[in-house]
């Protein structure tokens, strides 16, 4: 080493490197630029920078424009940290490298708009997000917001406070003579909003400048109309409590389940929101025991009715004669009645449910409520209304109807359940696959728009990828989800596994699921029958081979089949590259990302 080289190496210290970058006005620099600023040879600067790389104080990067550029290590660490940028006028937040804490906190008060591109996670705070935010008061909501923002935003906070107040301008109460009264916070609101939006089907006559007499049975309709006008209604009616029900809970609730029940008893209306495996059904049974009144449980299917009966007998002191089922197979109304939404909404059966004074109505899989088929059952009103859903989102953006008709969300951050070990966080990866051959690609390109999605979904390359993933996880219990029956049969034949679909008799399906639970069978291929409404056992590996045109809720439900108290689990979502499946996959997984689950992407050659 020459004296000149040694002197140059001594001159390039971390401090002089920072000075050189500042002089260059760039975050990175080449060895030639550093040498020029410090006053040594390029060779000496390169040797000195390599020494700093070895010490871990500088990073080097090969780029196309220059052979090598250099930058301080702490800048790399800074780039990997979470950054939150607020746009208060648009009420939007861009979060780069968000932590699970930030994602979980924002999921309580903001809507996740996008997770793709270079913008990071894009959140927007909407009116309905503030109205439905699960906080006791506005101060608690603002404290949560401040915990994730780099600095306070008076403009945004003032808007949130206005929305919080707006959601408490109309109240339904019970008059001392027994009829229902709609009360407004001011004469102007009653005259310019309520009496303009509502008609004789909803209101009889004014009682005062701020009160109106409500037509019996129109309460749910009033809630919907005023909500759509931008004014959620607070329901404080003295509703029926039902005949007393002698029941005790025989299962100990987890801390967060007790918190759910306590909050529900305080509010008397709400929706338990939590991931699969978090025990929403058991928490609802805890609420049933705490209310202690005759109960109606609404479910989307007969299979789910049978599962509720089993859970009630397992976790309470109820006897079989205390529990009735009312659906296409049975017609029994008891102190605790489990009915399907379809039957409860039919005119010829409706009077039976209307006459009963229910102390509690439970709406299982409550995300169905806004649909026309199920909506009529929501008009059944009770002192206590409880919904259950892991994923109360809808593709028609009518999930706000759920909170209007049933109650506000009550739930624990998914992230908190992961951290506490109650539910294990799955690893979710979207895999983009090429076409199996030119013939398939050409068929997709020439197909009608409606046929394209199925051709992409049944890309033969997915069969090889399913085989590959199963081989990578040779001991894992695996569920392979498909959308179409032919595709399911094809994959099942290829991997020598049973295909479970709606065409399979119930007893055979139950047998396969029991064998899967017991570890006697390692792999099942499952159609959309596995998305909800049946007791599908949790898996260690889930592969979504097709069905990416489904809802965000469907994606979360399928991923939820891997959520359980112990052990790691993996979800692979297969999408054909360059097709609509890419967008569908990102949309489905975005809801999981909002809940604090990390979603990665990978291309497959």
Residue-wise pLDDT tens digits, 138-175:
999 999 999 989 888 999 999 999 999 999 999 999 99
What is the pLDDT, as a whole number, of residue 350? 67
**Report field, pTM of the whole predicted structure over 0.75:** no
Is the per-residue pLDDT at 204 higher than 50?
yes
Cβ partners under 8 Å of residue 322, min gap 6: 245, 247, 334, 335, 336
Domain presence at residue 522: yes
C-alpha closest to that of 459 among 291, 577, 338:
577
**What is the number of domains present in the chain?**
5
Q: 78: helix, coil or strand? A: helix
Is the per-residue pLDDT at 550 higher than 50?
no
| pLDDT tens by residue, 350-360 | 667 767 778 89
Is the per-residue pLDDT at 132 higher than 90?
no
Q: Which domain holds residue 122?
A: 84-146
452 and 594 in one domain? yes
What is the pLDDT, as a whole number, of residue 412? 58
216 and 184 in one domain? yes
267 and 181 in one domain? no
Domain presence at residue 250: no
Domain presence at residue 236: no
Domain-ending residue, one of 61, 78, 95: 78
What is the pLDDT, as a whole number, of residue 423? 56
**Domain with 55 in it: what CATH number?**
1.10.10.10
Mean pLDDT value across residues 182-190: 95
Q: How confident is the model at residue 552 (pLDDT cuts 50, 70, 90)?
A: very low
139 and 197 in one domain? no
501 and 440 in one domain? yes
| pLDDT tens by residue, 92-126 | 988 887 777 787 788 778 887 776 544 467 889 99
Dig out the tokens for 222 from the structure. Answer: 């009033």
The widest CA-to-CA distance across the chain, in whole angstroms, is 103
What is the pLDDT, as a whole number, of residue 62? 67
374 and 269 in one domain? yes
- Contact predicate 482/525, CB 8 Å: yes
40 and 104 in one domain? no
Task: Give the whole-number percent of the chain exceeding pLDDT 70.
Answer: 77
* Mean pLDDT of all residues belonging to the chain: 80
What is the pLDDT, as a whole number, of residue 28? 77
Q: How confident is the model at residue 495 (pLDDT cuts 50, 70, 90)?
A: very high
338 and 265 in one domain? yes
558 and 440 in one domain? yes
**Range from 193-197, 248-252, 334-338, 395-399 carrying the lowest mean pLDDT:** 395-399
Q: Please give the distance of CA 188 from its chain centroid, rounded to a whole number.
A: 38
What is the pLDDT, as a whole number, of residue 588? 64
What is the pLDDT, as a whole number, of residue 192? 93
| pLDDT tens by residue, 205-221 | 899 999 999 998 788 78
404 and 431 in one domain? no
- Contact predicate 114/122, CB 8 Å: yes
Q: Cα separation of 144 and 157, whole Å?
A: 12
398 and 322 in one domain? yes
């Amino acid at each position: 080493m020459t004296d000149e080289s040694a002197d140059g190496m001594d001159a390039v210290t971390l401090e002089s490197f920072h000075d050189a970058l500042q002089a260059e006005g760039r975050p990175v620099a080449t060895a030639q630029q550093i040498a020029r600023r410090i006053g040594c040879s390029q060779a000496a600067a390169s040797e000195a920078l390599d020494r700093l790389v070895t010490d871990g104080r500088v990073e080097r990067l090969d780029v196309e424009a220059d052979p090598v550029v250099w930058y301080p290590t702490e800048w790399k660490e800074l780039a990997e940290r979470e950054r939150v940028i607020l746009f208060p006028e648009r009420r939007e937040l861009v979060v780069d490298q968000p932590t699970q804490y930030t994602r979980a906190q924002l999921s309580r008060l903001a809507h996740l708009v996008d997770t793709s591109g270079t913008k990071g996670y894009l959140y927007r705070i909407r009116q309905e997000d503030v109205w439905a935010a699960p906080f006791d008061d506005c101060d608690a909501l603002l404290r949560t917001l401040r915990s994730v923002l780099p600095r306070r935003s008076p403009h945004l906070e003032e808007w949130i406070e206005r929305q919080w107040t707006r959601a408490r301008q109309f109240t339904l109460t019970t008059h001392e003579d027994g009829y229902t009264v709609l009360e407004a916070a001011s004469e102007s609101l009653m005259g310019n909003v309520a009496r303009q939006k509502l008609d004789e089907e909803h209101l009889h006559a004014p009682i005062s400048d701020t009160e109106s007499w409500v037509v019996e049975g129109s309460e749910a309709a009033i809630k919907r109309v005023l909500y759509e006008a931008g004014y959620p209604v607070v329901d404080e009616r003295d509703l029926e409590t039902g005949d007393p029900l002698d029941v005790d809970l025989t299962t100990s609730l987890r801390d967060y389940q007790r918190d759910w029940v306590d909050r529900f008893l305080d509010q008397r209306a709400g929706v338990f929101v939590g991931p699969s495996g978090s025990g929403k059904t058991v928490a609802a049974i805890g609420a049933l025991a705490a209310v202690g009144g005759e109960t109606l449980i609404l479910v989307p299917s007969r299979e789910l009715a049978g599962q509720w009966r089993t859970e009630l007998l397992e976790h309470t002191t109820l006897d079989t004669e205390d529990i009735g089922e009312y659906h296409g197979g049975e017609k029994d109304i008891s102190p605790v009645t489990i009915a399907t939404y379809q039957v409860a909404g039919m005119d010829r059966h409706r009077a039976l449910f209307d006459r009963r004074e229910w102390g509690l109505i439970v709406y299982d899989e409550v995300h169905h409520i806004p649909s026309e088929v199920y909506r009529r059952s929501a008009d059944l009103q009770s002192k206590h209304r409880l919904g259950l859903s892991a994923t109360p989102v809808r593709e028609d953006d009518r999930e706000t109807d759920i909170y209007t008709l049933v109650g506000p969300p009550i739930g624990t951050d998914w992230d908190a359940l992961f951290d506490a070990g109650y539910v294990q966080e799955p690893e979710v990866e979207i895999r983009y696959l090429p076409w199996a051959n030119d013939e398939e690609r050409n068929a997709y390109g020439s197909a009608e728009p409606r046929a394209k999605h199925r051709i992409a979904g049944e890309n033969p390359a997915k069969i090889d990828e399913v085989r590959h993933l199963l081989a990578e996880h040779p001991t894992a219990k695996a569920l392979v989800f498909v959308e179409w029956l032919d595709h399911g049969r094809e994959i099942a034949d290829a991997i020598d596994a049973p295909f479970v679909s709606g065409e399979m008799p119930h007893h055979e399906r139950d047998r396969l699921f029991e064998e899967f639970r017991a570890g006697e069978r390692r792999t099942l291929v499952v159609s959309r029958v596995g998305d909800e409404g049946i007791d599908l056992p949790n898996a260690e590996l889930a592969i979504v081979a097709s069905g990416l045109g489904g809802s965000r809720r469907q994606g979360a439900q399928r991923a939820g089949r891997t959520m359980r108290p112990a052990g790691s689990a993996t979800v692979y979502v297969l999408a054909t590259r360059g097709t609509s499946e890419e967008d569908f996959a990102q949309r489905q997984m975005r809801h999981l990302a909002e809940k604090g689950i990390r979603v990665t992407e990978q291309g497959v050659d």
